[in-house]
Amino acid sequence: MWSQRQVMSHALQRRHTLESMLRGERAFSSTTACDAEPLLVRAALHHGEPSAVACPVCDSEHMMNLNYTFGDQLGQYSGRHKSTAELEEMQNEIGEFTVRVVEVCPDCRWNHLITTYVLGDGKKRRPPRRQKTVEDIYG
Ligand SMILES: [Zn+2]
């Protein structure tokens, strides 16, 4: 993606978590690291993009990556997951937003942040006008 910047890899933390799990440290026992919420697993199954690597815990080939988007210019849509195709469109329409890529294994529920980066064309824009949500109407 052309506007990708401030790329930060979380490979070191990922390795640290895995090594701690292998050493059997309580804080990182597999029940702690393989703790993907049912919603996260469902999002990965329906909206995730296949990962290029196998699960580091159970060796599953079904690992998925999810791109979560955050930023003031996204308004109420900050925090949603987006496909790579959607990110490619968004980078031309939004000045600046952060993408956090999370890998999720639907088989053992391993999940970890793998990369963070910033996208956007650099032009400051107002967030979209707030739309009513189901919570506004029925909440
Ligand atoms: Zn797994």
Q: Which of 89, 24, 36, 94 is nearest to 60 (CA)?
A: 36
Q: In angstroms, rounded to a whole number, what is the distance separating the alpha carbons of residues 15 and 46?
A: 27
Q: Is 48 within a domain?
A: yes
Tell me, yes or no, whether 139 lies in a domain.
no
Q: How far is the CA of 5 from the centre of ligand 1 (A)?
A: 30
* Distance (Å) from CA 104 to ligand 1 centroid: 8
Residues in the chain: 139
The whole model's pTM is what? 0.87
Residue 6 is inside which H or E element, if any?
strand 5-9
What's the 63 CA to ligand 1 centre distance in angstroms? 7
Is 93 inside any structural domain?
yes
Residue 12 CA, ligand 1 centroid: distance in Å: 19
- What pLDDT is stored for residue 133 in this prediction? 82
- Predicted confidence at residue 35, as pLDDT, reads 80
Question: Would residue 138 count as lying in a domain?
Answer: no
Residues 96-139 have pLDDT tens digits of 999 999 999 999 999 999 999 999 999 998 888 888 888 888 87
Average pLDDT over residues 79-99: 96
CA 44 – CA 70 distance, rounded (Å): 18
Residue 39 structure tokens? 């919603």
Distance 8 CA to ligand 1 centre (A): 24
* Average pLDDT taken over every residue of the chain: 90
Query: Residue 31: is its pLDDT beyond 60?
Result: no
From the list 76, 73, 130, the residue with the least C-alpha distance to 98 is: 73
Does 129 reside within a domain?
Answer: no
Residue with tokens 């910033």: 118
pLDDT band at residue 86, thresholds of 50, 70 and 90? very high
Range of the domain at 111: 5-124
Tell how far the Cα of 136 is from the centroid of ligand 1, in angstroms. Answer: 38
Name the domain count of the chain.
Answer: 1
